[in-house]
Amino acid sequence: MHNLPNLITRRRLLWAVPVVIVAAAGLGAAAMMQPPPADLDLSLMKSTDHGHYVASVEPGLSPIVTGTIHGWIVEIKTPDGKPVEHAEISISGGMPQHGHGLPTEPKVTAELGRGRYQVEGMKFNMPGWWTVNVAVKGPAGPDTATFNLIL
């Protein structure tokens, strides 16, 4: 005769493997689909973190759709509203809940005058909560502003 208890144990183990795989996949998917924080500041104009500038962004696509490369205009002013010319602007960003950055490396391609800068190469490759960091090096020193987007 077969060793019956041993057979039952094996069958249980065979069951357990797919159950564990499905559970792990489910947890992974749940992490990817977390809702964004309810209190996100979605404004497109704000003071930089140390108050040296006021930064605003104007996405060239409205609404922004995923997967399309497009341009943004970034505008930098002093806290009292004067345009900041000849600043060095760099853009970074990503998805805080997914742990990845932007899929592209956006760059300033032109200074448009009156504190406005053309940024090209913006792209968001999936829906969810994105942050876009605008780093400014200007006469008042370096400073950054972080904008939130929900796609």
Residues that bind Cu ion (CB under 5 A): 95, 98, 126
DSSP 8-state code for residue 63 = S
Pairing relationship of beta strands 45-47 and 54-59 according to DSSP bridges: antiparallel
Nearer Cβ to Cu ion, position 70 or 98?
98
Minimum CB distance to Cu ion, residue 127 (Å): 8
Contact 137, 118 (CB under 8 A): no
The Cα–Cα gap between 56 and 48 comes to 10
The residue whose Cβ lies closest to Cu ion is 98
Q: What distance lies between CA 52 and its chain's CA centroid?
A: 23
Closer residue to Cu ion in complex, CB, 93/115:
93
Nearer Cβ to Cu ion (9/68): 68
**What is the DSSP code (8-state) at residue 21?**
H
Check: CB of residue 130 under 8 Å from CB of residue 106.
Answer: no
- The tokens describing 103, both together, are 């899929």
- Which of 95/122 has CB closer to Cu ion? 95
Smallest distance, Å, CB 128 to Cu ion?
6
Q: Output 74 or 95, the one with its CB closest to Cu ion.
A: 95
Contact assessment for residue 101 and residue 93, using Cβ atoms and an 8 Å cutoff = yes
C-alpha–C-alpha distance, residues 26 and 20, integer Å: 10
